[in-house]
């Protein structure tokens, strides 16, 4: 796995702490071994109606732990929380993350938009859970 499949700009400790105040961030372990992490981001503040804004769920599983069921467990937990926050659920990932895109599409997500952040060379893909 290349760094490009993860964060294009790693977060500082301060940025992670700030995000903890508004997002649900979890780290997943198999016993004492780190296997991945997840984020559930509520709809954007200032949205008049929750149904018009999406909760964003993001699940990251380290390559050596994929296809063992960890992603499925983490995804179900995130999806449950995301649905508590909004009627619409989305996920975002780098276009180079072929495993993640395959997983999302197999779970009913459809591509909504592809966008490139300033200074990046790999686009992000926004996907929305259908139905």
Please state the rounded mean pLDDT for residues 103-115.
Answer: 94
The model's pLDDT over 14-50, given as tens digits with 9 standing for 90+, comes to: 877 877 778 888 999 999 999 999 999 999 775 544 4
pLDDT computed for residue 8 by the predictor:
61
Is 3 a residue whose pLDDT tops 50? Answer: no
The C-alpha atoms of residue 74 and residue 21 are separated, in whole angstroms, by 20
Q: What percent of the chain has pLDDT over 90?
A: 59
Strands (E), 15-108: 24-30, 33-41, 54-61, 88-94
Which domains, from first to last, does the chain contain? 3-129 (3.40.630.30)
């Amino acid at each position: 796995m290349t760094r490009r499949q993860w964060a294009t700009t790693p977060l500082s400790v301060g940025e992670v702490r700030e995000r903890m105040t508004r997002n649900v961030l979890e780290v997943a372990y198999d016993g004492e071994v780190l296997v991945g992490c997840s984020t559930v981001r509520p709809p954007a503040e200032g949205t008049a109606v929750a149904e018009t804004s999406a909760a964003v769920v993001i699940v990251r599983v380290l390559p050596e732990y994929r296809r063992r069921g960890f992603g499925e467990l983490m995804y179900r937990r995130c999806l449950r929380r995301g649905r508590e926050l909004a009627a619409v659920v989305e996920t975002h990932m780098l276009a180079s993350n072929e495993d993640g895109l395959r997983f999302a599409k197999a779970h009913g997500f459809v591509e909504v938009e592809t966008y490139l952040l300033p200074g990046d060379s790999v686009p992000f893909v926004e996907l929305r859970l259908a139905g």
